[in-house]
Structure formats: C-alpha cells, structure tokens
Amino acid sequence: MPSWAVLVSQAFNGLALGTLLALVSSGLTIILGTLGVLNFAHGALFAVGAYAAFVILQYTQSFGLAIAIGCAFMLVLGFILERLIRLFYDRPHEDQILVTYGVGIVLVEAVRAGFGGNSQRVPLPSWGQGATQLGFLIYPTYRLQLIAIIAALLLSLYLVLYRTSMGLVVRAGIENPGMVGVLGINVRRAFLLVFAIGVVAVGLAGMLYAPVVAVTPDMGANFMAQSFVVIVLGGLGSFPGAVVGGLLAGEIISLTSAFNSAYSEVMLYALMALLLVLRPQGLFGSEGRV
C-alpha cells in the first residue's frame, strides 16, 4: 500500500492529466457531435500545437504571446482543414475516418520533416518555475497552473456552448443538424466554427503540455487513443461527458500507477471494456444514440 503523500501527489498528477485529457476530448467530442466526423487527425494536431509553441517561443521568448499566436495559427489551420473535411460530410463515416487519418499522417510527417524525429524541449514559462508548498506536499508550480488554466478554458468553452446563441446553434446541431438547417440557420458556417474551435482546443492542450513532456512528432498518438476512451466513457458528443470522462481517465491512470505502474494504462482500457458491457451508451450518452 503506497503512502498517503504518494497517493495525494498522484491524485494531483491525475488532475493535471485529467484536465488535459478533458480539453483534448472536448475538442474531439464537439467535432464528433456536431459534424458527425471522428477526427483521426486529433493526435497530430496535438503535436502540431506543441511544435507551434516550441517555434514561436524561440522568436518571442514570451509564453503568453506564444500561446496567443499559436491559437491564431491553429484557428487558421482549422479553417483550412475544414475545407477538406467538408467534402466528406455526406460520405460514409469510414471515409471520414480515413481522410482524417491521412491528414494526420501528412501533419506528423510534415513536422518530422521540419524538425526531425528527435525530441525537443520547450522551456517552462518564467512564471511557472519552481515548486509550490501545499502544506503536506511540494508540487511543481507549472502543473498547478496548468490545472487552473485548463479549468478556466473548459469553463469558457462551457459558457460559449451553453450561454451564447452560437452555442445554442451548435448544441442544436449535435441533436439534429438537418432540423437546424431547415430553420434557416447556416449550418455549414456553424460547422466551420465548431471544427476550428475543436482544433484550437487540442492545439492549446498541446501548447500547454509542451513544457512538461518531451515534444516529438508522434506525441499525440497515445493521447488520441486515450481521448477515444474518454469519449466512449463519457458518451458520444457530450461535452460534460468529455470533461468528467477526462478527469476519470486521468485519475485512473495516475492512481493505478501509485500501486503498480505496469497496469496504469491497462486499467483505463479495462474500465472501458467494463463500461461497454454495463452501460454501452457511456456515462452521459442517451439511449438510442448509438
């Protein structure tokens, strides 16, 4: 049995990983829910975000500025990619998956061609150095800030989705895109915006996580697989499901590794298998939406 302090610090690690997974998955889930497209390029976009932070930091030396420029870059990239994905709205899901997978390969290989396959290091921002005394344990400051920043981002995403008229259109689009179109709302434009927001969300996750990990072209692949699990846990196209599922997944991975690190990832997938048997529609999914 691991000690109390280890468990608490792992719980914090789980929170950091969980909020990150929640951000990645919410980007994936709003695209999936609204457009009906499972974005297989999501992992690649995570890596592109991390590399964007790496490059812009070298020129600006300011983490805040790097994030701002990086977001603008991801937004433009999202608009461009939507032009391609648009061709596939009326085609079978398999085709959509294949084309986004192809986009993922191209993005990862473009990054690899530009920066090589070796891992890059992104420095911590000046305001995130050192560790913070939390009474009973000392925890890296940047990770605490990461939790706070992503929580704020998720909150603002929630406000956009649930408190604005644009969010209303998006949520209605998740329920029934055809009906929204019949009501005279430009669904295509809403789709464009949703896709771009999803891309910015995952790009931001990549940028914010870059200082904590080694930045490689393939860094997104495992995140994508985990965020698939999060979506299966949370329910298709459900924003609250993505957030709760993300936190749950992060805690499962971190707390299991406090007991036996060999099983940390396996446990997550085992839970998914269990949920598939007991509650196939996911925690927040409604019956009938397969």
Partner 1 sequence: MKGLRSRAWRAHVPELALLFALVAAPVALPHLGFSHDLLTRVLNWGLIGLGFDILFGLTGLLSFGQAAFYGVGGFVTAYLLVSGKLSSVWLALATGTVAAGLFGLVVGWLAVRRIGIYFTMITLAFGQMAYFIENSPLSNYTGGENGIPGIPVPVLGFGAYAIRISAGLPMYVLFAVVFFAGYVLARRIVRSSVGAILFAIKENTGRVALLGHNVPAYKLTAFVIAALYAGLAGGLLGTFQSYMPPDAFSLETSGQLVVQTIVGGAGTLVGPLAGAAVWLWLRDNLQLIPALASLWKFVLGIAFIVLVIGLRRGVCGEIAHWWNERRNLTALRAAEARTEAIEARSGAVVTEPVAPNIDVALALPAPGGRHRGAGRRRGESRGRRPGRCRSAGRGRPSPECRWRPRAGTPDVRPD
b/e sequence 249-274, b meaning 16+ C-beta within 10 Å = bbbbbbbbbbeeeeebbebbeebbee
Q: Which of 236, 249, 252, 258 binds partner 1 (CB under 8 A)?
A: 236
Q: Which of 112, 139, 151, 168 binds partner 1 (CB under 8 A)?
A: 112
Scan for tokens 């695209």, then name that residue.
Answer: 31
Scan for tokens 């605490």, then name that residue.
Answer: 144
89 near partner 1, judged by CB under 8 A:
no
- Measure the CA angle with vertex 77, ends 71 and 81; round to 5°: 145
Letters for 250-289 (x = contact with partner 1 by CB under 8 A, - = none) are -----------xxx-xx--xx-xx--xx--x--------x
Q: Which of 87, 131, 138, 182 binds partner 1 (CB under 8 A)?
A: 87
105 near partner 1, judged by CB under 8 A:
yes
Q: 113 exposed, middle or buried (CB, 10 Å; 0-12, 13-18, 19+)? A: exposed
Is there a contact between 205 and 199 (Cβ–Cβ < 8 Å)? no
Letters for 155-194 (x = contact with partner 1 by CB under 8 A, - = none) are ----------------------------------------
| Strand, helix or coil for residue 89 | coil
Pairing of strands 131-133, 138-140: antiparallel
240 near partner 1, judged by CB under 8 A:
no
Rounded Cα distance between 22 and 51, Å, is 21
Binders of partner 1 in range 22-41 (CB under 8 A): 32, 36, 38
# of chain residues touching partner 1 (CB under 8 A): 47
Is there a contact between 248 and 254 (Cβ–Cβ < 8 Å)? no
Nearer to partner 1, 38 or 207 (CB): 38
Q: Which of 91, 188, 189, 279 binds partner 1 (CB under 8 A)?
A: 91
Nearer to partner 1, 14 or 177 (CB): 177
Beta pairing partners, 174: none
- Measure the CA angle with vertex 228, ends 226 and 230; round to 5°: 70
Binders of partner 1 in range 202-221 (CB under 8 A): 221
Total residue count of the chain as it appears in this document: 290
Contact positions toward partner 1, by CB under 8 A? 32, 36, 38, 84, 87, 90-95, 97-99, 101-103, 105-106, 109-110, 112-113, 116, 221-222, 225, 228-229, 231-232, 236-237, 261-263, 265-266, 269-270, 272-273, 276-277, 280, 289-290
